[in-house]
Structure 1
């Protein structure tokens, strides 16, 4: 019983001591100042209005510039695969060879039929010439001549039909050699030697993707586009002249070394997401960007004038989640100032309300002072160095 009472007494004493310490902390800080202790060094930045380049980050996917599924256009047995899987193929390069025997036979037969039709035409033409001479000498009838003329024209039509049959046979023979329809990187072979190819088959032989240059498709919400348009109408924002430059942030967080350009914005809104699709084009000579890869697209939207920004490390959060910064006032005290933030641009944050040009915002040395305490403000780079020394 006695031990229990002592435990409760000690617990109350501890809580009272903590409460008193918390109450006296600002007073102790003022007492230290009164004792002549030097105020702590802090790094500050002086707020100014300036013209900044506004950028937008959006999630996106890499897409090939062209994609072609290699399919047979005639039926037959596959004799050979003539490409290296995963390699680059040029337009017109041989990819597969289908057994050409039947197509060669069809071509020879069509050529023979054409020769026969040409012989018939020769005979019909000679007959028409003879009867025309006899008709002029009035030794034959007009009806006999008309029959000869009709036979000649029919022979001419037969020759044309056989020429078409020869061309068809030549095309089928050409189709027995499957060639690359575009230049690009070819994937794995989905058909091997000995397989039966069909001109109506669903499964492609392989897929070729042109990846240099390459596309990055990303989206932007309609609300953001409307807000941007309103700001442009107010004159606080002006679009960037010339081609809109874009950059890629890879999945590993690194920036792709080559810049791209914005090609177009879609003309319709996705009803499911209320977003518009945009497309940018990037050079890809080393094939570092692969179709389907996740990226973040950073696009330069334009230039905004009279904008205040502060480093991200200057932003504090209160218990309600609101944003605040420490501002050094004319008395040399660091006081909290509520702010309304805009978008984040790299290591800077746009401040829409709460700061004015000339304000000194603390960015280094937060652990050395309390709100309302005296500080010794120095420019951020110098303040950081001396704070490290301390």
Structure 2
């Protein structure tokens, strides 16, 4: 009797516990199912694709180079008497930069003037003597005397020419005592001071003059890109001429330079060590914002091609290096597409295949959605860097057919 009295309550307790656990499991399942039905599709920002003629660009590294450069050196010997420019200032062509003591050169000029006057004074008497012998050559004067008179005149005339040349040289040397700017430009620090002795064509420059408005930018591109560009032009895929395209600059701090440049020349040789060739562009530089030696990045338009633009921020690369991007299908499901042939177009990728007008590209929110997931696309507008700046209302999902 005692055993039965304990067994019966134990069996009832186990039955009650089992019923309670089963009820809890059903309630949890019902709550989970209810939560899944209430969760809405994720919102994603999309833009509608449209084919158009787009620029094909290259981003190339470069260095600024002065448009003109001249190392200023003396052309005569002497002592620096005056320095007539402010170091680092802008000077005009013909402005006097240095004045060399000219006393010696002024004296040489006066000496040359006197020598010329002396030489010129002997010409009339030699001419008169020749004329006299010319009249007497047939009446007593010998032919030798006549020839000697003619030679004397020629020597006097040669002395005049020599004196004129010496005078001109003296004038030039005196002019060289004023060292002038050969063109408009900006000076550097002077390497000499007043009182220093300088020599003609010395190794050390007195200062350097640079013209930096306009300014050159030397760019570097690979020979592989050059071959690819030529192939695209030959195949007719690219329109336009790279030599006529505008070139834009990005400064070292990431800001855009407000002037556009033009291609000036392209080196017709490839470096044997780097496999690159050089391109030179020219830019207006009215405020001297770009200085020689500055590192820059240039965006060069190399042609135009019909295609679709995919912002770089909206694309990825797969394990094979191919470009990938996510789209929204007509059923509002996520679809990943791969593009093998791509070109750079500013801050976008230019693609020509596996895409058509009206396709909706996901430009934001694609990092957290899986392939085939149902989403709520929201039309968006992008800025020049591919960031979303404006969004429309979310598009409602397609209504499911009513049950009969």
TM-score bracket, shorter-length normalisation: 0.7 to 0.9
SS at match of 1:251: coil
Q: CA deviation at 1:139?
A: 3.5
Q: 1:64, 1:124 → 2: CA distance?
A: 59
Structure 1 residues 62 and 241 mapped into 2: Cα distance closer, same or farther (>3 Å)? closer
Q: CA deviation at 1:323?
A: 4.3
Name the count of aligned residue pairs.
Answer: 358
Q: CA deviation at 1:356?
A: 4.0
Q: In the TM superposition, what whole-angstrom CA distance separates every residue of 1:305-349 from its partner, at most 9, and x where no partner exists?
A: 1x1222223224557766433222233222333443624433322
Which residue number corresponds to residue 25 of structure 1?
Answer: none
Q: 1:371, 1:46 → 2: CA distance?
A: 19
Q: Which has the larger displacement, 139-148 or 376-385?
A: 376-385
Which residue number corresponds to residue 334 of structure 2?
Answer: 334
Q: 2:368, 2:252 → 1: CA distance?
A: 38
Which residue number corresponds to residue 289 of structure 1?
Answer: 290
Q: CA deviation at 1:141?
A: 2.1
Structure 1 residues 1-390: aligned runs within 5 Å:
35-135=37-137, 138-240=139-241, 243-305=244-306, 307-316=307-316, 323-340=323-340, 342-351=342-351, 354-366=354-366, 369-381=369-381, 384=391
SS at match of 1:285: coil
**RMSD between aligned residues:** 2.7
Structure 1 residues 172 and 353 mapped into 2: Cα distance closer, same or farther (>3 Å)? same
The structure with more radius of gyration: 2
* TM-score scaled by length of structure 1: 0.84
Q: 2:221, 2:170 → 1: CA distance?
A: 53
SS at match of 2:239: strand
Structure 1 residues 203 and 32 mapped into 2: Cα distance closer, same or farther (>3 Å)? farther
CA contact (8 A) 2:105 2:173 kept: yes
Q: 2:164, 2:323 → 1: CA distance?
A: 82
Q: 2:33, 2:339 → 1: CA distance?
A: 31
Structure 1 residues 89 and 348 mapped into 2: Cα distance closer, same or farther (>3 Å)? same
Name structure 1 gaps, 5 residues minimum.
1-29
Q: 1:251, 1:83 → 2: CA distance?
A: 31
Q: 1:273, 1:116 → 2: CA distance?
A: 67
CA contact (8 A) 2:56 2:344 kept: no
Q: 1:185, 1:383 → 2: CA distance?
A: 47
SS at match of 2:273: coil
CA contact (8 A) 1:41 1:386 kept: no
SS at match of 1:262: strand
Name structure 2 gaps, 5 residues minimum.
1-31, 382-388, 395-404
Which residue number corresponds to residue 9 of structure 1?
Answer: none
Q: Which has the larger displacement, 109-118 or 310-319?
A: 310-319
Q: In the TM superposition, what whole-angstrom CA distance separates every residue of 1:10-68 from its partner, at most 9, and x where no partner exists?
A: xxxxxxxxxxxxxxxxxxxx967862433222221233332101121100111111111
